[in-house]
């Protein structure tokens, strides 16, 4: 077996020890140091170069090198050894795929980092003309956004076309990769002129991609000259009704004519009768009401409200929504962090030592639908002027802009006075993660303002009604102030009946709320509200014992005696009940009419029935004493005397 064949066998088998032995054998083989310049590092890296074996040998059928095989195996140790012995990081296989192409397709961010550190070229094109960026857009890697961002920072060119003339953006649209479309469009204003991606998305019915591209400013009527068609033409041709409606919302023209005189109307009229009627009715509807949406990524000071825009109440602010950490904020001073925005004090500031591109993230802990934002500010050049409100599926993005807003100079010029609110509406969007991205101020050397509040609702409330197909009630419930999920689940039955007047609908909703309440308010803690007494006669009824638990919890709890076979007489299991509108709110369970039949010293405990690990023990023991017979005789004597006295009074 030749050395190269042995090398392939070792790498295929992931045998690091044998690899080291092969590459560093007896002294008669020559090894010399080489200085390998690498990108992403200062200076170069010292490498060993072997001459007794071809480290860059390739398999005949696949063109795989040992390095490529180690990438496919995901073996970083083997990779690092091969790279140390001067393996060519850019040598491609028979299809033109470099190690970076393959690592990108596999979604191995750690391997991509390693290859880039050793000089991997980010714009290499394979035999199909695809770059690693194209490859990421075709994969389903969990870290695809971070992979794309990493390649971009390393100099990847998102404008390179493959042999079909497709950009990475076009491929992302084809494969319905919404997060990658957002990543590729964000900050790339030139991409708004792309005509292929929106057509590819329309053909495949990827309506969310269509909407996202339109929000980034892609023209809904853009004509692809090579294909001589527009997005609405193709959405109609391929029966993509939802994609067509998105295009119409943003102003697509069903009368738009191509050079061969084809219009969406023409195409729709030639469809099967049912589909033809559906599309023609949709075209006529939007011809009457016109454009209802404006691009959300384009800077605007005012826009025509969408028919879907809601107006929900203020959400109670939770200070835990943001933190003073790199994931939540990119700029603040030590004494005036971003957390001041949620501290409830309108005299504290978030001070930003910059005038643009500063942001803070809010994690609302569950998906919320927001319909408005309040900014509390002042009349000073340091006041924020333009900001973007953005959403994402993860705390680190990528971010999609919901709206761009402009703050005025209002309120006092004195920093000691409380901030004055300005309300911004005209949007309805849902997400758990929200970001406020500061674009400019009113001319100050830094930027600062006092607070932020949101209008909206916990989206779980809307989902509960949608699951029952009773969403007609959701807005009235939310606008009545029940926009907090826990508050909604604890709503009084009488109030809910006033909002849900149909008895059948009420029963469905109330039963679903009971199920949701059980999931949301599980038992996690128990505390004593009223402790057991310390001493009692055997058989005597104990005064009531009361425990309290988590707000809203309605589980069963059980009283028992610790480390004893003695039994308590009475109802040992009781359901927790809410303490009503009392503040602070909690649930309580009352154990009544309990007694012991046996003398002894006991420790009384309470535990959850469904969650027996949640328990509490009385801090003192309960002593059960035998009844005193003398006491009973004395008591009887007193009763006899009282009877005699009553008899004398009658005389």
> Within 10 Å of residue 586's Cβ, how many Cβ atoms?
18
pTM above 0.75? no
Which 3 state secondary structure label does DSSP give 498? helix
CA angle 35, 40, 42 (to 5 degrees): 55
Class in CATH terms, 190-291? mainly alpha
Least confident stretch, 22-26, 281-285, 351-355, 638-642: 638-642
pLDDT at 651 exceeding the cut of 80: no
pLDDT digits (tens, 9 = 90+) for 239-296: 999 999 999 999 999 999 999 999 999 999 999 999 999 999 999 999 888 888 888 7
pLDDT at 306 exceeding the cut of 90: no
Q: Averaged over 503-511, what is the pLDDT?
A: 95
Q: CA dihedral in degrees (290, 295, 300, 305; nearest 10)?
A: 40
* C-alpha–C-alpha distance, residues 64 and 44, integer Å: 26
pLDDT, position 153: 85
pLDDT, position 22: 87
Domain spans of the chain, in order of start: 190-291, 319-456, 460-520, 526-625
For residues 609 and 558, is the Cβ–Cβ distance under 8 A?
Answer: yes
pLDDT digits (tens, 9 = 90+) for 320-350: 999 999 999 999 999 999 999 999 999 999 9
> Within 10 Å of residue 646's Cβ, how many Cβ atoms?
9
pLDDT digits (tens, 9 = 90+) for 604-626: 999 999 999 999 999 999 999 99
Residues linked to residue 35 through DSSP beta bridges, in sequence order: 46
* C-alpha–C-alpha distance, residues 219 and 78, integer Å: 49
Q: Averaged over 151-165, what is the pLDDT?
A: 93
- CA torsion sign, 239 to 244 to 246 to 249? negative
pLDDT at 216 exceeding the cut of 60: yes
**Residue 332: φ, ψ to 5°:** -165, 165
pLDDT, position 294: 80
Q: What does the block give as tokens for 54?
A: 């071809």
Q: Averaged over 62-85, what is the pLDDT?
A: 94
CA atoms within 13 A on the CB side of 346: 14
* C-alpha–C-alpha distance, residues 258 and 231, integer Å: 12
Q: Averaged over 621-650, what is the pLDDT?
A: 69
> Within 10 Å of residue 629's Cβ, how many Cβ atoms?
8
- Measured between alpha carbons, how far apart are the two ends of the chain, in Å? 131
Specify the residue for token string 């919320």. 368
pLDDT, position 564: 80
CB within 8 A of 30, min separation 6: which ones?
Answer: 51, 52
For residues 378 and 416, is the Cβ–Cβ distance under 8 A?
Answer: no
CA 55 to chain centre: 45
* C-alpha–C-alpha distance, residues 233 and 230, integer Å: 5
For residues 7 and 56, is the Cβ–Cβ distance under 8 A?
Answer: no
Alpha helices in 217-337 (DSSP H): 231-237, 241-249, 264-269, 273-289
pLDDT, position 443: 83
pLDDT, position 280: 97
Specify the residue for token string 């009527």. 221
pLDDT, position 300: 42
* 319-456 CATH fold: Jelly Rolls (2.60.120)
**Residue 260: φ, ψ to 5°:** -100, 20
pLDDT at 546 exceeding the cut of 90: yes
pLDDT, position 305: 42
Q: Please indicate whether the domains covering 319-456 and 526-625 agree at the CATH topology level.
A: no
* C-alpha–C-alpha distance, residues 415 and 232, integer Å: 53
pLDDT at 445 exceeding the cut of 60: yes
**Residue 319: φ, ψ to 5°:** -60, -20
Q: Which helix (H) or strand (E) holds 37?
A: strand 31-37
Which 3 state secondary structure label does DSSP give 608? strand
For residues 380 and 452, is the Cβ–Cβ distance under 8 A?
Answer: no
For the domain spanning 526-625, the CATH number is 2.60.40.3960
pLDDT, position 432: 97
Least confident stretch, 62-71, 165-174, 181-190, 377-386: 181-190
pLDDT at 219 exceeding the cut of 70: yes
**Average model confidence (pLDDT) across the chain:** 89
Which 3 state secondary structure label does DSSP give 519? helix
Q: 16 or 448: which carries more pLDDT confidence?
A: 448
pLDDT, position 290: 86
439 closest CA partner among 370, 369, 359, 537: 359
Q: 23 or 373: which carries more pLDDT confidence?
A: 373
CB within 8 A of 286, min separation 6: which ones?
Answer: 245, 248, 249, 254, 292
Three-state DSSP string of 17-68: HHHHHHHCCCCCCCEEEEEEECCCCCCEEEEEEECCCCCCCCCCCCCCCHHH
pLDDT at 8 exceeding the cut of 50: yes
Distances (CA, A) of 2 to 9, 17, 57, 58, 491: 11, 18, 12, 13, 79
pLDDT, position 42: 33
How does residue 634 score in pLDDT terms, banded at 50, 70 and 90? low
Q: CA dihedral in degrees (450, 454, 455, 461; nearest 10)?
A: -150
pLDDT at 462 exceeding the cut of 70: yes
pLDDT at 198 exceeding the cut of 60: yes
pLDDT at 499 exceeding the cut of 70: yes
Q: 401 or 596: which carries more pLDDT confidence?
A: 596
How does residue 45 score in pLDDT terms, banded at 50, 70 and 90? low
């Amino acid at each position: 077996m030749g050395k190269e064949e042995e090398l392939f066998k070792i790498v295929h088998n992931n045998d690091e020890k044998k690899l080291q032995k092969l590459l560093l054998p007896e002294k008669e083989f020559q090894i010399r140091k080489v200085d390998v310049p690498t990108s992403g590092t200062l200076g170069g890296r010292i490498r060993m170069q072997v001459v007794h074996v071809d480290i860059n040998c390739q398999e005949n059928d696949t063109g795989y090198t040992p390095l490529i095989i180690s990438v496919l195996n995901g073996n970083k140790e083997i990779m690092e050894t091969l790279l140390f012995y001067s393996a060519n990081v850019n040598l491609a296989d028979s299809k033109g795929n470099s190690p970076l192409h393959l690592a990108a397709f596999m979604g191995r961010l750690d391997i991509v980092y390693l290859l880039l550190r050793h000089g991997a070229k980010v714009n290499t094109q394979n035999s199909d003309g695809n770059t690693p960026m194209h490859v990421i857009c075709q994969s389903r890697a969990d870290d695809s956004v971070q992979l794309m961002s990493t390649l971009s920072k390393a100099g990847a060119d998102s404008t390179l076309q493959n042999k079909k003339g497709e950009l990475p953006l076009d491929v992302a649209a084809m494969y319905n990769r919404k997060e990658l479309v957002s990543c590729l469009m964000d900050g790339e204003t030139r991409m708004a002129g792309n005509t292929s991606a929106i057509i590819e998305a329309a053909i495949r019915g990827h309506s969310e991609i269509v909407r996202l591209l339109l929000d980034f400013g892609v023209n809904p009527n853009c004509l692809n000259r090579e294909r001589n068609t527009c997005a609405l033409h193709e959405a109609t041709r391929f029966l993509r009704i939802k994609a067509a409606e998105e295009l119409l919302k943003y102003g697509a023209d069903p009368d738009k004519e191509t050079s061969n005189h084809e219009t969406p109307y023409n195409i729709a009229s030639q469809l099967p009768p049912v589909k033809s009627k559906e599309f023609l009715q949709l075209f006529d509807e939007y011809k009457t009401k016109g454009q209802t949406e404006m691009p959300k990524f384009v800077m605007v000071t005012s826009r025509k409200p969408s028919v879907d825009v809601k107006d929900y109440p203020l959400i109670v602010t939770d200070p835990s929504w943001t933190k003073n950490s790199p994931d939540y904020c990119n700029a603040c001073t030590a004494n005036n962090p971003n957390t001041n925005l949620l501290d409830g004090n309108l005299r504290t500031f978030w001070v930003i030592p910059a005038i643009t591109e500063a942001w803070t993230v809010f994690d609302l802990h569950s998906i919320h639908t927001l319909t408005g934002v309040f900014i509390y500010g002042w009349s000073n050049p340091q006041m924020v002027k333009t900001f973007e409100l953005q959403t994402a599926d993860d705390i680190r993005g990528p971010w999609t802009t919901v709206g761009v807003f402009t703050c005025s100079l209002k309120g006092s010029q004195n920093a000691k006075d409380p901030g004055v609110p300005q309300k911004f509406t005209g949007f309805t969007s849902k997400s758990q993660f929200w970001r406020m991205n500061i674009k400019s101020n009113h001319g100050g050397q830094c930027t600062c303002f006092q607070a932020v509040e949101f209008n909206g609702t916990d989206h779980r409330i809307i989902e509960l009604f949608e699951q029952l197909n009773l969403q007609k009630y959701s807005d009235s419930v939310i606008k009545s102030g029940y926009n907090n999920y826990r508050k909604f689940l604890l709503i009084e039955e009488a109030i809910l009946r006033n909002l849900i007047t149909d008895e059948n609908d009420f029963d469905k909703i109330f039963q679903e709320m009971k199920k949701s309440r059980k999931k949301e308010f599980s038992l996690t803690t128990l505390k004593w509200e009223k402790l057991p007494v310390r001493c009692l006669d055997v058989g005597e009824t104990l005064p009531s014992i009361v425990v309290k638990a988590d707000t809203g919890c309605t589980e069963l709890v059980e009283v028992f005696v610790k480390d004893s076979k003695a039994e308590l007489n009475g109802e040992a299991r009781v359901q927790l009940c809410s303490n009503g509108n009392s503040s602070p709110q909690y649930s309580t369970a009352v154990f009544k009419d309990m007694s012991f039949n046996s003398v002894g010293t006991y420790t009384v405990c309470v535990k959850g029935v469904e969650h027996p690990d949640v328990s509490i023990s009385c801090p003192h023991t309960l002593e059960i004493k035998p009844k005193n017979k003398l006491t009973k005789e004395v008591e009887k004597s007193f009763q006899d005397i009282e009877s005699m006295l009553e008899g004398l009074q009658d005389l």
